[in-house]
Amino acid sequence: MIPREMMRRIQRIQIHTSHVVDDLLAGQWHSAFKGRGIEFEEVRPYQVGDDVRTIDWNVTARAGEPFVKLFREERELSVMLLVDLSASQDFGTHVQTKRELITELGATLAFSAIKNNDKVGLSLFTDQIEKAIPPRKGKRHVLRLIRELLYCQPMGRGTHLKSALDHLHRTASQRTVVFLISDFQDAGFEKTLRITRKKHDVIPIMVNDQREFDLPNVGLLRLRDPESGNMVTIDTASRRHRDTFQKLQLAEAEKRDAIFRRLKMNPIRLATGEDYVEPLKRFFHRREAER
């Protein structure tokens, strides 16, 4: 039995994200992603304007009049949300934490998938696999995914993207659309990501908070790395200290960006407290144009 407050919170997310899917993303999902292939459906008599290359010559010879082959795209997709639940996701200074943004985003993607009759699954990870739910269809299934996104209590605190991608390799037998949602505060995953994107359609979604790059002037500030537990004191009244902090953070961000450039991947970038719908729409439009 799901507690009443938990159910109310799940329903609030369901109502909001369903509205986003219906009003803003309808049709774009279908256009953005290819099906698994093209399969033969039937033959019918030739009509003016048909491509002559589709004529079925065997049927034409038997019938004494031209017939053409009809094909349809095998549409059903398998979608996997690969979600980082490391301790850094609990950080947030603009209305919401990164995890709250990830939950709303994950719900939107999941409802978009089932609205288009695709299967969707969820893999939650830190420095280990926390929870893995295979792709399925249906609203009840998506509500379960939302519950896990909201309430899963991870055992690990760090981030290990390589392990998450390796687990995907072992469990996803067919080509899968993979939304890799993380702040990517990790290293050593480039080779595994390169291998993964050869088999699967991988879309990185990078989630950050402005204060991870820009410290306010509030005097002495004790900062703790949520993943390692390391503590540091910074005098934010010093412009030099604030600038040094920002340069270090931007240098780490540039290392991550360089990985995506080498792999020719264009991540979706989201920030807490900002609208995530417009970046998603731009992504879908770009994918549609590329198709």
More confident call, 71 vs 168: 168
Q: How do beta strands 177-182 and 78-84 pair?
A: parallel
**Single pTM value for the model:** 0.84
Q: Kindly state the average pLDDT of the residues 158-162.
A: 97
Mean pLDDT score of the chain = 90
Alpha helices by DSSP H, listed for the chain, are: 4-24, 28-32, 57-63, 98-115, 139-151, 161-171, 190-199, 239-262, 277-290
Neighbours of 39 (CB within 10 A): 10
pLDDT at residue 26 in the model: 64
Q: Kindly state the average pLDDT of the residues 11-39.
A: 75
Q: Has residue 173 got a pLDDT over 90? A: no
Which CATH superfamily does the domain covering 4-22+76-290 fall into? von Willebrand factor, type A domain (3.40.50.410)
Q: Kindly state the average pLDDT of the residues 130-146.
A: 96
HSE value, Cβ hemisphere, 13 Å, CA-based, for 225: 11
Instruction: With CA atoms as reference, report the closest residue to 283 among 129, 224, 291, 116.
Output: 291
* 8 A C-beta contact, residue 142 and residue 150: no
| Whole-number Å distance between alpha carbons of 88 and 225 | 8
| Whole-number Å distance between alpha carbons of 62 and 253 | 65
Q: Kindly state the average pLDDT of the residues 149-153.
A: 95
| Whole-number Å distance between alpha carbons of 150 and 100 | 8
Domain extents in the chain:
4-22+76-290, 40-73
Tell me the chain's radius of gyration from C-alpha atoms: 23
More confident call, 42 vs 195: 195
Confidence of residue 269 (pLDDT cuts 50, 70, 90): very high
Confidence of residue 12 (pLDDT cuts 50, 70, 90): confident
Phi and psi torsions of 16, nearest 5°: -65, -50
pLDDT at residue 196 in the model: 97
pLDDT at residue 132 in the model: 98
Q: Has residue 125 got a pLDDT over 60? A: yes
Which residues are CB-contacts of 130 (< 8 A; sequence separation ≥ 6)?
Answer: 85, 124, 152, 154, 155, 156
Q: In the numeric block, which tokens belong to residue 91?
A: 């950080």
